[in-house]
Amino acid sequence: MNRLTRTTATIRRLRRAGVHGVAQRVAARAYRATDAVALSFQLDPADVAGTVPDALPTPEAAPPGRPLTVGWVTSPPAAGSGGHTTLFRMVEGLEARGHACVVFLYDRHGLDVAQRTAALRHGWPGVRAEVRDARAGISGVDAVVASSWESAHVLLAYDAEPAHRLYFIQDYEPYFYPRGSEYELAAMSYRFPFRRIALGEMVAGCLRSELGQHSDVVPFGCDTGVYHLPEAETPRSGVVLYAKPDVGRRGYLLARLALERFHRTHPDEEIHVYGSRPTGLPFPVSYHGSLTPAELNELYGRVVAGLAMSFTNISLVAEEMLAAGVVPVVNDSRLARADLPNAYVGWAEPTPAGIAAELAAAVDRPDGAAYAAKAAASVMGRSWGPAQELVAQIVEDEVWRGGRA
């Protein structure tokens, strides 16, 4: 092929792609050329553990009943982060029992502690914990809790003195990645000599079946003080999606394909989206951006069904939807079912047609208002109190009795 032919072919491809397609190709080329994918790796390579230690120095048990200082290692929190919200609920649970907490934040690129403290206070005003930079050293605490596989490596790298070490595990994080380096580094963290606290049976089961590891198990909760039926009965219509296109386990592509099918059969049903702004959709949506929990509950109070996709641990969104009278449509899997034994969930075959069918079944239900009330009643009274109490008891047991109850 000569130069003129190649140039002509290139021009034809660019015309077919359009301006948006050309921009995507330029961005993709720059992404590869600059190795921007490295930004998604949240650890400085120097902070990755080289081996799994057999044991770590631990202090003698503290006198029972003495107030404790407990550290929590995590990434800088972002507004609306469900994982941080659950973690900080556990912090509040310890603080309510008279213990002091310290949040050790880690950012491989460095962080402004004052700025991050202000963000934490704004997003989670109930947390009184001091905020420190983990890279300045993790010290001055009786116990310290890792909260993700990256933070477990950070704890090993910056743990400056003996402490009781625990690991609050909200999901089986190797499943976040293809089989490769990050998968193995995440799995490696569960073999560190920390006391493991699994949020729910799915996590506990994966730790047991995949790695042969024991863990203490604490239950999922639901904030039914925030998520509930509208005070006045409101006519419901339409469906809602929490869009997280960049988080593979939340099934955005399947959700999008399912909503396209659903719109073809139910063109009058409004499709609401919150979270990340979707682009290039072949159907109309009402986009709401980022919502506070109260705003989200108000939106839930107007819709019939919502997509609560998750291919690892169940999303907190599912029970929050139930509490507001919304039918959560969830991809059917044993992992998702492990912690959501509820008759009002729309379990869908994880195909575009299967998910669309469950959405259609929900909006076509003739007894919609009564069904919404029953769905909300199925989780009435649920809270995070039991999980908070159990996590606090586990931390106390580890420090006061050295794990020997």
Predicted local distance difference test score (pLDDT) of residue 32:
52
Beta carbons within 10 angstroms of residue 258's beta carbon: 29
Per-residue pLDDT 10s for the chain (405 aa) are 566 666 676 667 667 766 555 555 654 464 455 444 444 658 999 999 999 999 999 999 999 999 999 999 999 998 778 899 999 999 999 999 999 999 999 999 999 999 999 999 999 999 999 999 999 999 999 999 999 999 999 999 999 899 999 999 999 999 999 999 999 999 999 999 999 999 999 999 999 999 999 999 999 999 999 999 999 888 999 999 999 998 888 999 999 999 999 999 999 999 999 999 998 999 999 999 999 999 999 999 999 999 999 999 999 999 999 999 999 999 999 998 999 999 999 999 999 999 999 999 999 999 999 999 999 999 999 999 999 999 999 999 999 998 654
113 three-class SS: helix
* Cα–Cα–Cα angle for 301, 123, 310, rounded to 5 degrees: 55
What is the DSSP track for 295-312? HHHHHHTT-SEEE---SS
Residue 258 and residue 281 in contact, taking contact as beta carbons nearer than 8 Å: no
Please check whether residue 37 is in contact with residue 70, taking contact to mean a CB–CB distance below 8 angstroms: no
Which of 390, 370, 36, 44 is CA-nearest to residue 200? 390
DSSP string, 195-239: EEEEESHHHHHHHHHHH----EEE-----TTTS---SS------E
pLDDT at position 79 is 78
Q: Which residue has the tokens 């912090």?
A: 91
What is the Cα–Cα distance from 299 to 296, expressed in whole angstroms? 5
Residue with token string 């008891």:
393
Would you state the structure tokens that stand for residue 161, as one six-digit string?
Answer: 């003195």
Burial class (CB in 10 A: 0-12, 13-18, 19+), 382: buried
pLDDT given for residue 136 in this prediction: 96
**pLDDT score, position 405:** 43
Vertex 269: Cα angle to 265 and 271 (nearest 5) = 105
> Domains plus CATH for the chain?
46-221+385-400 (3.40.50.11090), 239-377 (3.40.50.2000)
Packed helices 82-96 and 316-323: angle between N→C axes, nearest 10 degrees: 80
Global pTM reads: 0.89
Phi then psi for residue 306, to 5 deg, are -145, 150
State the DSSP code for 134: G
Rg for the chain, CA atoms, rounded: 24
Q: 230 vs 201, 227, 286, CA distance in Å?
A: 31, 9, 20
Residue type present at position 337: R
CB 303 within 8 Å of CB 236: yes
Which uninterrupted H or E stretch holds 273? strand 271-275
Return the pLDDT at 357: 98
Using H for helix, E for strand and C for coil, what is the string for 358-404?
Answer: HHHHHHCCCCHHHHHHHHHHCCCCCCCHHHHHHHHHHHHHHHHCCCC
Q: Are 268 and 256 in contact (CB under 8 A)?
A: no
What 3-state DSSP class applies to 204?
A: helix
pLDDT for the residue 14:
60
Q: Residue 216: which residues within 8 A CB-CB, separation 6 or more? A: 195, 196, 197, 198, 390, 394
pLDDT, position 16:
73
